[in-house]
Structure 1
Amino acid sequence: MDHSGHEHGGGHSGHHTGHHGSRATGWRATGWRTAAQATLHCLTGCAIGEVLGMVIGTAAGLHNGATVAISIALAFVFGYALTMRGVLRAQVAFRRAVKIALAADTVSIAVMELIDNTVMVGVPGALDAGLDDALFWGSLAFSLVAAFLITTPVNRWMIGRGKGHAVVHAYH
């Protein structure tokens, strides 16, 4: 899923924040749908990096700490890259696009990574399971769902204050 393709709802329906100067302001006025769409966008990049990191670390037989570190690094790289892709399409200079991606995604990705890696480490045997083991894939899927559910209210709060994904909306 590409940030520029779904545009957080195609027309920002339900997105009423002070950032856009609309009638309502504040996080309570920011719709859950908008927050969920922003979280799903962020989760897409995060999940690509997270899954790739877990697969690389598990396949290579790396220590759990190294596997988690690779997963986190790749989640940030892919998360930022998806946001930058949409911003760069709006003819924004590369350096500015990097700054926008950092502002838009850092907190969201950090919360997601905290949650999904805590789940993966917390499920006994999940990181030690092989790639052909349902425990590995089930734990990874559960960790991403948990990350989505916990990060959505964080994104709702941030968007309502003109932060997080709200900074990207000006470039669509």
Structure 2
Amino acid sequence: MSQDTHGADAHHHDHHPHQHQHHGPHPAGWGTAAKATLHCLTGCAVGEVLGMVIGTALGWHTAPTMALAIVLAFVFGYSLTLRAVTRAGVAFGAAIGVALAADTLSITVMEIVDNGVILLVPGAMEAHLSDGLFWGALALAFAVAFLVTTPVNRWLIGRGKGHAVVHQYH
């Protein structure tokens, strides 16, 4: 009888992980994914706007301005996570690993989408900082990037990756 009970427990444990993967809502739903994406968007927006402002102010052409904006988007995106994780008591070296694991795919998708949108808006890259087109195209690009990146973050979090890595430190 104890063997049957043990067999039933083993059977139950064998299927338990599969139930979480395939049945019912995962604890990380759309709200959690949206918060993770907003966190990512914040860092990306700060870096991108700063990069666009610097490139435009210096009269740079499209490619170097976009390159600077993308680099700064990653820097600020990772920095927000680093700040939160180190505040939770994680050593800086370990926090870098957490930030890379949490943010790389999210920031990459966001950057591809928002820069793609900006490139598709006629005249957006040539617009000056004082032009409504500059800020309108940027706002549109961030909105589209948010909509595309949120499902990516939900998928990552649902698999214990992305911002799910950071949540243990909150």
- The one-letter amino acid of 2:106's match is S
- Say whether 1:128 aligns with 2:126: yes
- Hey, what does 2:29 align to over in structure 1? 31
Report the secondary structure of 1:164's partner residue. coil
- CA displacement 1:9-55 (0-9 Å, x = unmatched): xxxxxxxxxxxx99x73485231011000100111001100111111
Distance in structure 2 (CA, Å) of the matches to 1:113 and 1:74 = 11
Distance in structure 2 (CA, Å) of the matches to 1:115 and 1:52 = 18
TM-aligned CA deviation for residue 125 of structure 1: 0.7
Q: Of residues 144, 147, 152 in structure 1, which corresponds to 2:145?
A: 147
TM-aligned CA deviation for residue 121 of structure 1: 1.2
- Say whether 1:43 aligns with 2:38: no
- CA displacement 1:104-139 (0-9 Å, x = unmatched): 000000000000101111111101011110000000
- Hey, what does 1:59 align to over in structure 2? 57
TM-score, with structure 2 as normaliser: 0.85
- Hey, what does 1:72 align to over in structure 2? 70
The gaps in structure 1 that reach 5 residues or longer are 1-20
Q: How does 1:60-139 map to 2 (within 5 A)?
A: 60-139=58-137
* Greater radius of gyration (CA): 2
**Higher-RCO chain (CA-CA 8 Å, sequence separation at least 6):** 1
Higher normalized helix content (fraction of residues): 2
- The one-letter amino acid of 2:134's match is F
Q: Higher mean Cα deviation, 99-108 or 118-127?
A: 118-127
Report the secondary structure of 2:146's partner residue. helix
TM-aligned CA deviation for residue 91 of structure 1: 1.0
Distance in structure 2 (CA, Å) of the matches to 1:167 and 1:142 = 29
Report the secondary structure of 2:79's partner residue. helix
Distance in structure 1 (CA, Å) of the matches to 2:21 and 2:73 = 29
TM-aligned CA deviation for residue 102 of structure 1: 0.2
Q: Contact 1:120/1:139 (CA < 8 Å) preserved in 2?
A: yes
- The one-letter amino acid of 1:52's match is L
Aligned-CA RMSD value: 1.7
Q: Contact 1:80/1:105 (CA < 8 Å) preserved in 2?
A: yes
The gaps in structure 2 that reach 5 residues or longer are 1-15
